[in-house]
Structure 1
Amino acid sequence: MFYWWLKNGLLGPLFATVFRPQIEGVEHIPADGPAIIVCNHLSFVDSVFLPLAVPRRMSYLAKSDYFTGKGVRGALVRWFFTASGQLPIDRAGGKASEASLNTGLQVLAEGRILGLYPEGTRSPDGRLYRGRTGVARMVLEAHVPVIPVAVTGTDEVMPLGKRLPRVKKVTVRFGEPLNFSRFEGMEGDRFVLRSITDEIMYRINQLSGQEYVDVYASTVRQGSAAS
């Protein structure tokens, strides 16, 4: 109930009036049943614009840092992520990655829509980066359709390092569902997982028009921080 109020009674009308986002291809989202929405990641506000564009309730796997902030800002961020149905995950790898997978599978088992960022983190420069194969493993284990989507313009609304949004044009573009049933039972094959992930990133790239870089975004961000 609170999610409905947040989306339809507060944020939805506000963002529709102020930003007037352009939404395309929403007919590709199934009316019911589980599905995975995979999206590029340019800005913190991607997690606002995308759920508002989806006509059904969706949940995100969000990094646990968003739920542990201090002070008033930390409390507000924690409130928003909890209220909007986003679930904290630890991205440290190993057992933490397994727990994230299980959390996502539970969302899908309940017939809901799960949102994932295959890049794993926000793009440091607006380009599209290599996808993490965890998304492919989840796709194969859940046996659900995958809807690629590209959000553009959000890096202008709220660039990395900025605290307040600016009014800029935003487009949310959904593509046709992808079906990977031909790889059923092959979730242990790392070459299959990479192939699926690369196809997902290719479809997102077609929708976004971003320049593609075949390295992980986290590697670039770590390199920038160290220099």
Structure 2
Amino acid sequence: MSRITPWYRFKRRNNRRSRLAMFVWWTLVPWMLIPIWRLIYGFRIHHRDKCPNQGPVLVVCNHQSMLDPMIAGLALHSRGFRPLARSSLQQDTPKIIAWLIRCYDAIFIDRDNPGPSSMKKVLAELENGRVSILFPEGARSPDGTIQEFETGVWLLIRRGGAPILPMAVEGVHDVMPMGGKLRWKGAFQATMGDLIPSETLIEMGKDKALEHLRLIVDDLRMELREKIRFDTKGRWPKPGPGDQSLRGGTHKTSADQPTSVAGGD
């Protein structure tokens, strides 16, 4: 089982950033925000130990809300991650959100004209043994379900050589949906799956690999949905399109005992 890198080993967590930045953004902020979100939204992070404490990791997560980068960051704060973000987020999001994204040293990508420089920055992060977070849907889901994965993630899988860590967030669509404001009610959680060697996905070929990865992330999302319903006695998440699994099943809306997700922090 992997151990999370101690908070005080700043350079081991990310030798790109200063000790002060590592303390403020990857230590102090999580210590403050996680308890607040837990109190208001029942926030939990499951299976953080799935992320190795050393070496390159490409994290692939679904995208429900503008809060997702912060949620992923809280789950991975021990590694001093570097997220990818659309360049338009600097203009079309609240100033506080755009400022926070810049504080976390995000790699901005222009979706209309990606260019090679952004991908090179991500590959450089992986080559230097660091963590990058990718939201391969490319944009927030309009209904909480997982959209098609864009092909840019395939380039990073094929050329980066880093293991892929599937991650899912669920419930945050109810808290801050696309085009909506932050609500002070709801419940959301995050979880991580098993590491996937890049060679495993490369052998599948692009289309099968992306669909396989998408199904895994959706399985994690559905497990979280069941767990949140149990924790909130069926109040959250609200019934809707998110109850439909990519594998064809429909999630029950009762608060029965969940069977899969466990080990929340």
TM range, smaller chain: 0.7 to 0.9
Structure 2 equivalent of residue 57 of structure 1: 80
Instruction: Tell me which residue corresponds to 1:205.
Output: 218
Residues 183 and 79 of structure 1: is their aligned pair in 2 closer, same or farther, counting only changes over 3 Å? closer
Give, in angstroms, the shift of residue 119 of structure 1: 1.1
Q: For residues 41 and 206 of structure 1, what CA distance do their matches in structure 2 show?
A: 14
Structure 1, residues 12-61: CA drift from partner, whole Å, max 9, x if none? Answer: 42332333411111111011111001001111101111110113111111
Whether the aligned pair in 2 keeps the contact of 1:67 and 1:88 (CA below 8 Å) is no
Match of 1:100 among 97, 118, 121: 118
Written as runs of structure 1 = structure 2, the 5 A alignment for 1:2-151 is 2-19=21-38, 20-54=42-76, 55-68=78-91, 73-74=94-95, 76-93=96-113, 96-151=114-169
Contact 1:64-1:90 at 8 Å conserved across structures: yes
In 2, distance between residues paired with 1:154 and 1:64? 22
CA distance in 1, matches of 2:80, 2:143: 30
1:205 maps to a residue whose letter is D
CA contact under 8 A between 1:58 and 1:113: conserved in structure 2? yes
Deviation at 1:3, TM superposition (A): 4.3
Q: Once superposed, what is the RMSD of the aligned Cα atoms?
A: 2.3
98 and 182 in structure 1: CA distance in 2 versus 1, 3 angstrom threshold: same
CA distance in 2, matches of 1:139, 1:196: 10
TM-aligned CA distance change 1:169 to 1:182, over 3 Å: closer
Q: For 2:156 and 2:181, how far apart are their aligned partners in 1?
A: 33
SS at match of 1:77: helix
Q: Deviations over 1:100-128 (max 9, x none)?
A: 32121122122110101111111111111
Going from structure 1 to structure 2, the CA distance change for 1:26 and 1:167 (only over 3 Å counts) comes to same
**TM superposition shift of 1:85:** 2.2
Whole-angstrom distance in 2 between the partners of 1:137 and 1:162: 33
Aligned to 1:178: 196
Q: Which moved more, 1:9-18 or 1:37-46?
A: 9-18
Q: Does 1 or 2 have the higher relative contact order (CA < 8 Å, sep 6+)?
A: 1
Contact 1:67–1:78 under 8 Å retained in 2: yes
Flag the 1:24–1:182 CA change in 2: closer, same or farther, 3 A.
Answer: closer
Report the TM-score when normalising by structure 2: 0.70
After TM superposition, give the deviation of residue 148 of structure 1 in Å: 0.4
Amino acid at match of 1:82: R
Give the strand-richer structure, 1 or 2. 1
Identical aligned residues as a percent? 25
Deviation beyond 6 Å, 4+ runs, structure 1: none
Q: 1:218 maps to what in 2?
A: none
Contact 2:62 2:146 in 1 (8 A): yes
Closer, same or farther: CA 18–192 of 1 in aligned 2, 3 Å = closer
Q: Mean alpha-carbon deviation: is it higher for 30-39 or for 6-15? A: 6-15
Structure 1: state its 5+ residue gaps.
Answer: 215-227
1:193 aligns with 2:206: yes
Q: Give the Cα–Cα distance (whole angstroms) in 2 for the partners of residues 178 and 103 of structure 1.
A: 22
Change (3 A) 1:198 1:165: same
AA aligned opposite 1:63: R
